Each structure stands twice: as structure tokens, then as C-alpha cells.
Amino acid sequence: MNDELLVMLALVEGTGILAPFMFIFFHVLRQFMFIPVVMVCMAGGILFGSLLGTVYSMIGLLLLSAIFYFCIGKMPKTHARLMNIKYNWFGRYNKMTVGQIAVLRLIPFFHYQLLNLCLLERRPDFKGFMKGSFATNLPLAFFYTVFGEFITRFSPGMAIIIILSLFVLFYLLREKIATVTWSEFFADQVQSKQTS
């Protein structure tokens, strides 16, 4: 585990009755310390058990998603960078389904805020975004909190099989059509002629 995570776990464990609040707050802080969501969810299972660890992780992840929803519009450079990453990884016109986002959240090395942006693109209103956030974060929080102890014991071959299975599931859950507006289509045509 990361040294930062171990220090934070010791702090959370030592706060007694405030431990759940500190853990939830740590979910918001962890992105600034470059600690993966998966590690924090596993730590929640160790500290609070499967049920409470999942509940506290869900509260922290939903709080983080709500903060993202209200802040991303005020940070145009960050929004543009995330959109560029999305275009490079998934294409300009692909909108991921909620199921695909939930599957990608289970893969540890995917950027959490990029997936929030993809969800925001799918569900731009706050209520829909938070419902989608709940649906996509629940498998992540449950899986890594409950099964975190066993996942660390998997062999590298088993881990690769699980990740490949998640990619297959991601492909199967894709949206089968892409909608391109006239203005987007012709803007791309004009742009490609100008660069030629």
C-alpha cells in the first residue's frame, strides 16, 4: 500500500467515533494524493467491515461525484483536457452507456474523473447524473470492499483473466449507434479540408 494511505488509515483508525466521517472525507482527498479509489475501498473493508465499508465508500464516492458535477463547469482547461483524453481513448462520437462506465470503474487503472465526465455527457442534469453515479459506483464500492482481501491473493494470470473479461463486458454493453449532428459532421469536414 502507499505510504500516504497507511498514514491516513492510521489517522482514521485513531479518531474513534469520527472515523466514518474522516474516511468519507478521505475519499474526496485521495485524488490529490494520487491514491486509487480501489485502495481506499479495500481499506474501508478492513476498517469497517464489508457492509459499513461499502456504505461509507458509497457516501464518499457520491460526494466526490457531486463536487465534480458542480466544479467541472468552472474549470474549462480541465474539462478540455478530459475531453481530449476521452476522444483519444473512446472516439469523438461514442457516448458510453451507464453499464460500460460501471464496468470501467471496476478496472483499477481507469481515470475516475474521466469516467465521471463520460457519465456527465450521458446524463447532463444533476438528478440523472447522481442516479448514474450511484449505479456506476455501487459495483466498485461493493466489489472492492467485500472482495478486496481476496483480490490481493489472486495470481497475475487470474487478474489478467478478470480484466480481459471486464473488457469483453465493456464491449458487449456498448451503444450500437452513434449520433452525429449536421453541424458536428460538417465542422469536421471543413476542419479536415483546412488542414489538408
Tens of pLDDT, residue by residue over 131-182, are 999 999 999 899 888 876 566 566 777 767 777 777 777 677 666 655 656 6
Structure confidence at residue 132 (pLDDT): 93
Q: Does residue 134 contact residue 58 with C-beta atoms inside 8 Å? A: yes
Burial class of 128 by CB neighbour count within 10 A (0 to 12, 13 to 18, 19+): middle
Structure confidence at residue 4 (pLDDT): 61
Domain ranges of the chain: 3-195
Structure confidence at residue 148 (pLDDT): 64
Phi, psi for 107 (deg, rounded to 5): -90, 115
Low-confidence ranges of the chain (pLDDT < 70): 1-15, 148-154, 159, 170, 173-182, 184-196
Structure confidence at residue 126 (pLDDT): 94
Structure confidence at residue 67 (pLDDT): 93
Q: Tell me which residue of 38, 61, 67 sits closest to 135, measured CA to CA.
A: 61
Beta-carbon-side half-sphere exposure of residue 193 (alpha carbons within 13 Å) = 6
Structure confidence at residue 55 (pLDDT): 93
What one-letter code names the amino acid at 179?
Answer: T
Structure confidence at residue 36 (pLDDT): 82
Structure confidence at residue 145 (pLDDT): 85
Q: Could you tell me the pTM of the whole model?
A: 0.73
Computed from CA positions of residues 53, 56, 62, 65, in that sequence, does the dihedral angle turn out positive or negative? Answer: negative
Structure confidence at residue 152 (pLDDT): 58
